[in-house]
């Protein structure tokens, strides 16, 4: 058995016998995935691929064979909206129905130019609804009205609805193209296809958080060995510091990969049992392995640096925990990047967790290949190597200075 093999075996035994550490590394991110995926399902549906829900009402009963009825039919065919008929002034909230689209009794007269008043439809929003959703709803209603009105003009000119769609509305003039083979659920429309759903976002995010959280048990063992002079003993036996670190890092990388397996299993099989969407595993496993190993490299590099810079276990625990939380807050783990304002989206790139998350989402959401995640992987591996090298230099320097 070589020194490295013996070190890996020894470290694996130590890890297996550390139940508290394993609980933190596996149970904590698993619980986060379960809780956050289920809790944020609705939010992701609104922000991502879900339909906007609203009431459809009329000042009077909508009479058959009127333009108002035709408009209602056009509205109900819009994929962005899920409308339910209701009485006027039904309650609105962002948790349920966002908008009431009220067809006014003068709708046909206004459309025919027989009324002095210009409005034929009223939109009433939930007070707390954001500007983006208001603008989207207005655009969908406006598009529906344009569809109806253009068809009417075409009919007056002696053409049919197809002509109106083709020549006047120029349907198809704007083509929607996905950034890749979308792996989102089938109900998502093209404009939202590259956004993750709640399960995809949370499985990726909390997996990365768990992987970086490895800094706590890793740095704790390094500091214990330094304080107990075990590291010194190994060095005096002729074992180089780099080999000592490598023998410790490899088993922790295996732990990171086991975390990956657990989180994917939760997303694919456990969350659907609780009513959430299933995580599709119809992805490139090579790309998934690449981005996972790269993320592990960065996490272990960071763990090594924390261990090298901290004098006590208390210092290392605080530094590891706090840095994980800051990286997570900044890097889109706690709050998805796509809901951040542009400045924060730019700032989030300072966090290696953001690089990792982008890589995971590329694989899990956009069916990315190894090539698609190559840049992010390279960045993460380079960061990990840089941090680990710095850790070894700092350890050597401290040996001669403390």
Partner 1 sequence: MLSIKGLSFAYPRQPVHLDGLTLEVARGDVLGLLGPNGAGKTTLVSLIAGLLKPAAGSIQLAGEPAALGRRELALVPQEYAFYPRLTGRENLDYFAAVCHSNSQTRRAAVERAIEETGLGELQTQIAGHYSGGFKRRLNVAIALLQAPELLILDEPTANVDPQSRAFLLDVVRRLNQSGVTIIYTSHLLDEVEALCRSVAVMDRGRILLQGDMKTLLAEQHCLRLGLAAALPESLTGRTGVMALGDAVSGVQEWQFDLAQLGMSAAQLLTQLDQSGIAPVQIHYGQRRLESVFMAALARENERL
Using CB under 8 A as the binding rule, whether residue 7 contacts partner 1 is answered as: yes
Listed in sequence order, the residues at least 6 apart from 182 whose beta carbon sits closer than 8 Å to its beta carbon are 188, 193, 194, 365, 366, 367
Least distance in angstroms from the C-beta of 126 to partner 1: 57
What gap in Å lies between CA 178 and CA 193, rounded to an integer?
7
Using CB under 8 A as the binding rule, whether residue 6 contacts partner 1 is answered as: yes
Least distance in angstroms from the C-beta of 6 to partner 1: 4
Least distance in angstroms from the C-beta of 273 to partner 1: 36
**In what helix (H) or strand (E) does residue 85 lie, and over which residues does it extend?**
strand 81-85
Sheet containing 81-85: order of strands: 81-85, 52-58, 99-103, 121-125
For the chain, the farthest-separated pair of C-alpha atoms sits apart, in whole angstroms, at 98
Q: Which of 12, 14, 38, 329 binds partner 1 (CB under 8 A)?
A: 14
Using CB under 8 A as the binding rule, whether residue 232 contacts partner 1 is answered as: yes
Residue 4 near residue 247, CB atoms below 8 Å: yes
> Which range binds partner 1 by CB under 8 A, 169-177, 230-238, 279-287, 332-340?
230-238
Using CB under 8 A as the binding rule, whether residue 59 contacts partner 1 is answered as: no
- Other C-beta atoms closer than 10 Å to the C-beta of 134 total 15
Size of the site for partner 1 (CB under 8 A): 28
Using CB under 8 A as the binding rule, whether residue 234 contacts partner 1 is answered as: yes
Q: Which of 18, 133, 178, 185 binds partner 1 (CB under 8 A)?
A: 18
Of residues 235-264, those binding partner 1 (CB under 8 A): 235-239
Using CB under 8 A as the binding rule, whether residue 46 contacts partner 1 is answered as: no
Of residues 372-391, those binding partner 1 (CB under 8 A): none
What gap in Å lies between CA 387 and CA 186, rounded to an integer?
42
Tell me whether residue 118 or residue 401 sits nearer to partner 1 (CB atom).
Answer: 401
- Residue 339 DSSP code: G
Using CB under 8 A as the binding rule, whether residue 10 contacts partner 1 is answered as: yes
Least distance in angstroms from the C-beta of 392 to partner 1: 14
Listed in sequence order, the residues at least 6 apart from 285 whose beta carbon sits closer than 8 Å to its beta carbon are none
- Residue 168 DSSP code: I
Interface contacts to partner 1, rule CB under 8 A: 1-3, 5-7, 9-10, 13-14, 17-18, 227-230, 232-239, 399-402
């Amino acid at each position: 058995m070589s020194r490295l093999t013996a070190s890996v075996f020894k470290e694996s035994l130590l890890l297996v016998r550390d139940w508290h550490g394993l609980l933190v590394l596996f149970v904590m991110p698993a619980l986060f995935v379960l809780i956050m995926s289920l809790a944020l399902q609705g939010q992701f549906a609104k922000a991502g691929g879900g339909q906007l829900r609203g009431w459809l009402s009329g000042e009077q009963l909508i009479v058959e064979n009127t333009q108002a009825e035709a408009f209602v039919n056009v509205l109900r065919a819009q994929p962005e909206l899920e409308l339910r008929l209701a009485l006027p002034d039904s309650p609105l909230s962002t948790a349920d129905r966002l908008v009431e689209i009220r067809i006014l009794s003068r709708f046909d007269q206004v459309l025919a130019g027989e009324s002095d008043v210009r409005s034929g439809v009223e939109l009433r929003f939930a007070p707390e609804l954001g500007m983006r959703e208001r603008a989207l709803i207005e655009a969908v209603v406006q598009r529906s009205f344009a569809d109806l009105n253009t068809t009417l003009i075409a009919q007056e000119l002696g053409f049919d609805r197809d002509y109106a769609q083709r020549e006047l509305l120029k349907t198809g003039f704007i083509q929607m193209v996905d950034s890749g083979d979308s792996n989102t659920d089938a109900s998502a429309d093209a404009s939202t296809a590259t956004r993750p759903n709640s399960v995809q976002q949370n499985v990726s995010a909390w997996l990365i958080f768990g992987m970086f959280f490895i800094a706590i048990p890793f740095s704790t063992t390094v500091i214990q060995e330094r304080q107990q002079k075990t590291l010194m003993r190994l060095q005096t036996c002729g074992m180089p510091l780099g080999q000592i670190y490598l023998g410790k890092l490899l088993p922790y990388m295996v732990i990171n990969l086991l975390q990956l397996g657990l989180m994917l299993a939760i997303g694919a099989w456990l969350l659907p049992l609780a009513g959430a969407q299933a995580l599709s595993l119809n992805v490139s496993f090579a790309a998934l392995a690449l981005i996972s190993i790269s993320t592990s490299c960065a996490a272990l590099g960071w763990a090594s640096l924390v261990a090298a810079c901290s004098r006590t276990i208390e210092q290392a625990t605080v530094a590891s925990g706090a840095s994980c939380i800051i990286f997570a807050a900044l890097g889109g783990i706690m709050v998805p990047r796509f809901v951040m304002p542009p400045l924060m989206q730019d700032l989030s790139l300072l966090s290696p967790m953001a690089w990792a998350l982008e890589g995971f989402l590329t694989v899990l959401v956009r069916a990315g290949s190894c090539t698609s995640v190559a840049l992010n992987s390279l960045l993460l591996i380079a960061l990990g190597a840089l941090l680990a090298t710095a850790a070894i230099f700092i350890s050597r320097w401290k040996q001669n200075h403390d």
